[in-house]
Amino acid sequence: MDATAASGASSRAAAESEFGAGRMFLIDSRIAFGVLNHARYFALNRMFGTSREQANVLTAVLAVTAAGAAYESGQRMLRAPLRVSGADMAMGGFALREAALGVVGPGYRNVPGLGVLVAFAIVGNIGVPRLRRAARDLRAAEQRLRARRTSLFAAAGRASRDE
């Protein structure tokens, strides 16, 4: 009896270990997406009188319209002048430093040059992809120019042979 009881307990433990937080998150997210999708159908029906078949097209139209409006607002925000004083910048830098040190822990407060290293890593993380993209664009432009120049020389060579 002890052997069967032990095997039943171990199989239950194995079944419980297979059903963990990951599976629960997937199940919860599927339910949440299903509820949100139903709410979308209901809202579109109430607002615009659309059926379920028309809801996807209307959602796409609304998403494109919202994206255009967000793009225009973002462009206006980027062109707006910033009214930030030096004191505000210093306070923001200090708050950012304290937040970063709060994340890494109190032992790193005494590490010399940690702020410079982190700033260098952030700038590198932002700058390196842009530099790669610029280099790729330069190579593509050079290849286009080379192909055009080669085609012009070939056309000139053909024209001189034809004469």
- Among residues 36, 62, 82, which one ends one of the domains? 82
State whether 6 and 44 are in the same domain. yes
Q: Side chain identity at 124, as an amino acid letter?
A: G
State whether 108 and 58 are in the same domain. no
With bands split at pLDDT 50, 70 and 90, how would you rate the model's confidence at 5? Answer: low
Reading phi first (left if > 0) and then psi (alpha if -120 to 50, else beta), residue 105 is in left
For the stretch 14-72, pLDDT in tens is: 555 566 677 777 777 888 888 899 999 999 999 999 898 889 999 999 999 999 889 88
- What is the distance between the alpha carbons of residues 7 and 162, in angstroms, rounded to a whole number? 92
State whether 58 and 123 are in the same domain. no
Segments forming the whole domain that contains residue 102: 92-163
More confident residue, 156 or 14: 156
Number of domains in the chain: 2
For the stretch 72-129, pLDDT in tens is: 888 888 787 778 788 888 898 888 878 877 777 777 777 777 777 877 887 888 888 8
Tell me whether residue 87 is in a domain: no
Tell me whether residue 50 is in a domain: yes
State whether 78 and 135 are in the same domain. no
Tell me whether residue 163 is in a domain: yes
Tell me whether residue 11 is in a domain: yes
State whether 48 and 4 are in the same domain. yes
State whether 30 and 72 are in the same domain. yes
